[in-house]
């Protein structure tokens, strides 16, 4: 039998690799096993997020937004560029290079923290033994006092839409297109659909999105969604709500999609079709018989609020367990578990997890939406501030959107903050910190915000909740 480790982590995505690093920082002997293989055949740590999710999508969002801004906004700044073009191959080269640097960074972090990183497939056997199958098929066995499962998620597939990996694809393929499709279809107008739809639309694709639900982004505050819809329309995203996809098939060099909505049946012809209808937990070949680890009805590994599974000394974190499928949620769970294993304090505040959609303008929020607060019956007040009144946003030629603060009427506690506007994803950090400390709007009102900055929008929205905004009319 092999040497007994303190901790084995299966999966080195944004949940697993921080768990391994924190466990090592806690002076535990750790191995982290990951099987991720890129489309060029290389193995890399970082999971979906670094290789095929958060990072490559943001690289392409940035490139395509800069192109769009150069085309549409630079003239207003008095900048003359002559003709503006783009090079998809260079954009993709840059995307790949960022991913390589970031995933290589994990290897370096493992080394410096003393984590043993192992490329291969891990399978948990009873007794906390982990069978590792290396890429060349060699099998070895490891054992640990504690095992952390961080196997992540995989895209949901629709039975009526058979993927071929070339014309009918998932988000990973859509991040690696080597040319701009003239007509792009996207099934699902969720976070991935909107981000990837934005990338390719900005570069010239005619984008049609088929969304099954009657409402766009039902999890977001609806005032913000209404504002977002105006921007999506202006960009040229054709979002068809309440569209039920009946079937799709490759036809010649394109794809034919049949869908139905309130007006009847329709056919959509596109050059490429991206399916982005959500993700599901990935646990294939992860658990041998008799481990005692149970899955719930939707395939998530069952855990308690501290990420303990139904088996003693086995934990599970990230997309493979309940809760939002977000990198930062997985990271905090990883840190919590590694600290609990070491006998330290660990907790995740599931009520204060920020969400960001990296469209232009960005959408970000934390806490409850106005719809949720209203439904709770708790009396509330709302403050809002438009970026049109922000000097910094004006100077940036990005004076779009608003910040909205929702607070309890009785004790002034901030219940939710919602932003659509420039750098919303960065601005929301202040609201997250405020809510983590159970701040009131008065706390934000009395906090000095530098001028002129975008952050003043949060300050003014908090003031506006008491009809005391200075730089906007109080309503």
Per rule CB under 6 A, is residue 14 in the interface with ligand FAD?
A: yes
Cα 227 from Cα 214, distance rounded (Å): 17
Length of the chain: 475
Binding pattern for the stretch 326-365 against ligand FAD, x by CB under 6 A and - elsewhere: xxx-x-----------------------------------
- Closer residue to ligand FAD, CB minimum distance, 203 or 286: 286
Which of 395, 310, 62 is CA-nearest to residue 203? 62
3-state SS assignment for residue 6: strand
Q: Would you give the distance in Å from CA 273 to the centre of its chain?
A: 21
Binding segment for ligand FAD (CB under 6 A), chosen from 22-30, 199-207, 314-322, 335-343, is: 314-322
* Residue 157: both structure tokens together: 């597939």
Cα 235 from Cα 222, distance rounded (Å): 20
Of positions 192, 337, 366, 420, contacts ligand FAD by CB under 6 A: 192
Which of 244, 37, 268, 39 is CA-nearest to residue 158? 244
Per rule CB under 6 A, is residue 272 in the interface with ligand NAD?
A: no
Binding segment for ligand FAD (CB under 6 A), chosen from 6-14, 70-78, 81-89, 390-398, is: 6-14
Cα 329 from Cα 317, distance rounded (Å): 9
Report whether the peptide linkage leading into residue 322 is cis, meaning its omega lies within 30 degrees of zero.
no
CB of residue 290 to ligand FAD, shortest distance in Å: 17
β-bridge mates for residue 356, sequence order: 364
Cα 269 from Cα 402, distance rounded (Å): 37
Which of 99, 110, 153, 101 is CA-nearest to residue 326? 153
Helix (H) or strand (E) holding 340: helix 327-341
Per rule CB under 6 A, is residue 158 in the interface with ligand NAD?
A: yes
CB of residue 354 to ligand NAD, shortest distance in Å: 9
Per rule CB under 6 A, is residue 14 in the interface with ligand NAD?
A: no
Q: For residues 377-416, which are near ligand FAD according to CB under 6 A? A: none
Answer whether 151's CB lies under 8 Å from 10's CB: yes
Q: What is the DSSP letter of 240?
A: E
Q: Which does 122 bind (CB under 5 to 8 A by kind): ligand NAD, ligand FAD, none?
A: ligand FAD
Per rule CB under 6 A, is residue 188 in the interface with ligand NAD?
A: yes
Q: What is the DSSP letter of 165?
A: S
Of positions 127, 135, 214, 278, contacts ligand NAD by CB under 6 A: 278
CB atoms within 10 A of CB 54: 21
Q: Which does 386 bind (CB under 5 to 8 A by kind): ligand NAD, ligand FAD, none?
A: none
Report whether the peptide linkage leading into residue 157 is cis, meaning its omega lies within 30 degrees of zero.
no
Catalytically active residues, by annotation: 451
Binding segment for ligand FAD (CB under 6 A), chosen from 149-157, 359-367, 449-457, 462-470, is: 149-157
Cα 306 from Cα 349, distance rounded (Å): 11
* Residue 24: both structure tokens together: 């090592």
How many residues bind ligand FAD (CB under 6 A)? The answer is 35
CA separation (Å) from 290 to 125, 126, 128, 151, 314?
A: 7, 6, 11, 19, 13
Binding segment for ligand FAD (CB under 6 A), chosen from 28-36, 66-74, 81-89, 389-397, is: 28-36
Q: For residues 111-140, which are near ligand FAD according to CB under 6 A? A: 121-122
How many residues bind ligand NAD (CB under 6 A)? The answer is 24
List Cβ neighbours of 62 (8 Å cut-off, separation of 6 or more): none
Of positions 193, 197, 318, 367, contacts ligand FAD by CB under 6 A: 318
CB of residue 171 to ligand NAD, shortest distance in Å: 7
Per rule CB under 6 A, is residue 148 in the interface with ligand FAD?
A: no
- Closer residue to ligand FAD, CB minimum distance, 329 or 404: 329
Per rule CB under 6 A, is residue 152 in the interface with ligand FAD?
A: yes
Torsion of CA 61, 62, 67, 72, to 10 degrees: 90
Binding segment for ligand NAD (CB under 6 A), chosen from 59-67, 79-87, 271-279, 380-388, is: 271-279
β-bridge mates for residue 274, sequence order: 169, 186
* Residue 206: both structure tokens together: 């005619």
Per rule CB under 6 A, is residue 152 in the interface with ligand NAD?
A: no
Q: For residues 317-376, which are near ligand NAD according to CB under 6 A? A: 324-326, 356-358
CB of residue 338 to ligand NAD, shortest distance in Å: 23
- Closer residue to ligand NAD, CB minimum distance, 114 or 242: 242
Answer whether 250's CB lies under 8 Å from 168's CB: yes
Per rule CB under 6 A, is residue 366 in the interface with ligand FAD?
A: no
CB of residue 121 to ligand NAD, shortest distance in Å: 23
Residue ranges in contact with ligand NAD by CB under 6 A: 158, 187-193, 195, 210-213, 245, 276-279, 324-326, 356-358
Which residues in this chain contact ligand FAD in the complex, by CB under 6 A? Answer: 10-16, 33-36, 47-49, 53-54, 57, 121-122, 150-153, 171, 192, 282, 286, 318-320, 325-328, 330
């Amino acid at each position: 039998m092999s040497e007994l480790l303190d901790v084995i982590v299966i999966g080195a995505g944004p949940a697993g690799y921080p768990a391994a690093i924190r466990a090592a920082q806690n002076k535990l002997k750790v191995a982290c096993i990951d099987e991720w293989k890129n489309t060029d055949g290389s193995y890399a740590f970082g999971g979906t997020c670094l290789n095929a999710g958060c990072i490559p999508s943001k690289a392409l969002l940035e490139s395509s937004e800069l192109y769009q801004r150069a085309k549409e906004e630079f003239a207003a700044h008095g900048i003359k560029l002559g003709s503006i073009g783009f090079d998809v191959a260079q954009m993709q080269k840059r995307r790949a290079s960022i991913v390589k640097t970031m995933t290589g960074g994990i290897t370096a972090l493992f080394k410096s923290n003393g984590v043993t990183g192992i490329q291969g497939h891990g399978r948990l056997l009873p007794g906390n033994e982990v069978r590792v199958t290396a890429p060349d098929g060699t099998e070895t066995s490891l054992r640990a006092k504690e095992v952390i499962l961080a196997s992540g998620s995989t895209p949901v597939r629709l039975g009526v839409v058979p993927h071929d990996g070339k014309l009918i694809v998932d988000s990973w393929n859509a991040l690696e297109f080597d040319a701009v499709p003239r007509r792009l279809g996207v099934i699902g107008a969720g976070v991935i659909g909107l981000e990837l739809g934005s990338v390719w639309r900005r570069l010239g694709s005619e984008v049609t999105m088929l969304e099954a639900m009657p409402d766009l982004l039902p999890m977001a505050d609806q005032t913000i969604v209404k504002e977002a819809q105006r921007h999506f329309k202006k960009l040229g995203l054709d979002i068809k709500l309440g569209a039920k996809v009946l079937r799709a098939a490759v036809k010649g060099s394109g794809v034919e999609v049949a869908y139905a909505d309130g007006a009847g049946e329709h056919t959509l012809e596109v050059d490429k079709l991206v399916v982005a209808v959500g993700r599901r937990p990935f646990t294939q070949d992860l658990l041998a018989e008799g481990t005692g680890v149970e899955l719930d009805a939707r395939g998530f590994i069952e855990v308690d609020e501290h990420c303990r599974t139904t088996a003693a000394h086995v934990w599970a974190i990230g997309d493979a367990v309940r809760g939002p499928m977000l990198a930062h949620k997985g990271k905090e769970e990883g840190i919590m578990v590694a600290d609990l294993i070491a006998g330290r304090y660990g907790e995740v505040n599931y009520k204060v997890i920020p969400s960001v959609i990296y469209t232009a303008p960005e959408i970000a929020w934390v806490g409850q939406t106005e719809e949720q607060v209203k439904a709770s019956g708790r009396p509330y007040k709302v403050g809002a501030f438009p970026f049109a009144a922000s000097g910094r946003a004006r100077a940036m030629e990005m004076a779009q959107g608003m910040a909205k603060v929702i607070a309890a009427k009785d004790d002034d506690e901030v219940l939710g903050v919602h932003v659509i506007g420039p750098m919303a994803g960065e601005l929301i950090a202040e609201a997250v910190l405020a809510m983590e400390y159970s701040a009131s709007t008065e706390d934000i009102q009395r906090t000095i915000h530098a001028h002129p900055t975008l952050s003043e929008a949060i300050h003014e929205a908090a003031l506006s909740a008491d009809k005391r905004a200075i730089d906007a009319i109080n309503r």
